[in-house]
Amino acid sequence: MFAWLVLRGLYAYHAVKIQHIKATYLWVACATICFGISIELMQQFIPDRGADIYDVIANTVGILVAQAIFYFAHRTKTA
């Protein structure tokens, strides 16, 4: 959901005039994956919580799926 909202915000801000679409998707993927990893690492400091590699994998898959859906939902508008 976070990756979808970031992409939606960028599209709204740039009024669908993003020229470097691949770089934008790559930047959003890297930023949201790093955010997910940092959240997992912070959970180590909360009692009864811990970092889990499977949560990181699930977050990454969710980010990539959200980006794919967003791309296919908005590709006709940018063409």
In this prediction, the residues of the chain whose per-residue pLDDT falls under 70 are: 14-20, 76-79
pLDDT on residue 23: 79
Q: What is the dihedral of CA 31, 36, 38, 39, to 10 degrees?
A: 140
CA–CA dist 65, 49 (Å, integer)? 27
pLDDT on residue 74: 75
Q: At what angle do helices 21-42 and 2-13 cross, to 10 degrees?
A: 140
pLDDT on residue 51: 82
The residues near 40 (Cβ < 8 Å, ≥ 6 apart) are 51, 52, 55, 56, 59
Give the global pTM. Answer: 0.75
